[in-house]
Amino acid sequence: MQREKWLFEISPKTSLIDLNLKEVWQYRDLLLLFVKRDVVTLYKQTILGPLWYLIQPLFTSIIFTLVFNNIAGISTGEVPPFLFNLAGITIWNYFKECLMATSDTFKRNEAIFGKVYFPRVIMPMSIVVSNLLKFGIQLFIFSCFYIYYYFNGYTVLPNKYILFFPLLVIAMGMIGLGLGMIISSMVTKYRDLTFLVSFGVQLLMYLSAVMYPLDLMREKLVNIEKGTNYSWIVDYNPIAHLIEFGRFILLNDGNFSAFGIIYTVIFTIFTFFLGLLIFNKTEKTFIDTI
């Protein structure tokens, strides 16, 4: 008896690390719908709407400038403190938004996952893509202040590595997506992780050189008299390297090391595939534990 050919056949994945890009491409319209949903519904019932994309980084930069530069006296060299902080916050925000939104994927979308089949990885992917719009708006605001300071006599110019900036953004998105998929998979069993992530992200911001130069942080973490050296906290923090490299590209300030770049690339790839492995494994059974 000849086997009947079906248009679509739903079967278990044969490999844990399987992006299944062909199927994701077939569901590209759904991906775009999720992106639109994430952008529109987030601020649909707010008064200021998309202006929140601008308010948050601007006010945060002002507070950081007042506290860390004016009160604490942290120097940013020839770069205006406000522009220095705005550059770090703009890059950091993209990573933070990707991580926070994807870390609750299973729990937040359990109703959809339990009723309709589609490639589950589309959901966190849509979050990373939709956050690019927010990042673009904040980068535009940064560019406006950039131009303002330039025409007011400040020596702020991007360097030749500006072509690598899109790769930096991709790396931030991949790390946020990878860590988010790992946390989302664990949240299905351990709900306390939701609170731990919110608290941990706030601490991570202070350990990622968002509001001060990376060299200064290394210097403060070393105490020769007491024989203590905690500089490894930033040396093995890929987010700190990405933010420092981003400021180096945009403001031509600071520096980066070959070790930092190589380590960050390895960490990014490893985290993404580890997150994908755990995510693919969890999606088969999460509906029983959520």
Q: Using one digit for the tens of pLDDT, what is the confidence trace for 100-115?
A: 888 887 777 777 776 7
Average pLDDT (160-187) is 90
Alpha-carbon dihedral 135, 141, 147, 149, rounded to 10 degrees: -110
Report d(CA 135, CA 53) in Å as an integer: 8
Average pLDDT (79-86) is 92
* DSSP secondary structure letter of residue 158: -
User: For residue 117, what are its two tokens?
Assistant: 């089949």
- Cβ proximity of 142 and 105 under 8 Å: no
SS3 call for 203 = helix
Of 184, 179, 193, nearest to 96 by C-alpha is: 179
Average pLDDT (59-83) is 90
Q: Residue 16 pLDDT > 60, yes or no?
A: no
Q: Residue 160 pLDDT > 90, yes or no?
A: no
pLDDT, residue 173, reads 93
253 exposed, middle or buried (CB, 10 Å; 0-12, 13-18, 19+)? buried
44 vs 205: which has the higher pLDDT: 205
pLDDT, residue 7, reads 63
Of 231, 213, 215, nearest to 223 by C-alpha is: 231
Average pLDDT (8-15) is 58
pLDDT, residue 25, reads 79
Q: How far is CA 142 from the centre of its chain?
A: 18
Report d(CA 240, CA 96) in Å as an integer: 13
Q: Residue 154 pLDDT > 80, yes or no?
A: yes
273 exposed, middle or buried (CB, 10 Å; 0-12, 13-18, 19+)? middle
E-strand ranges in 237-286 read none
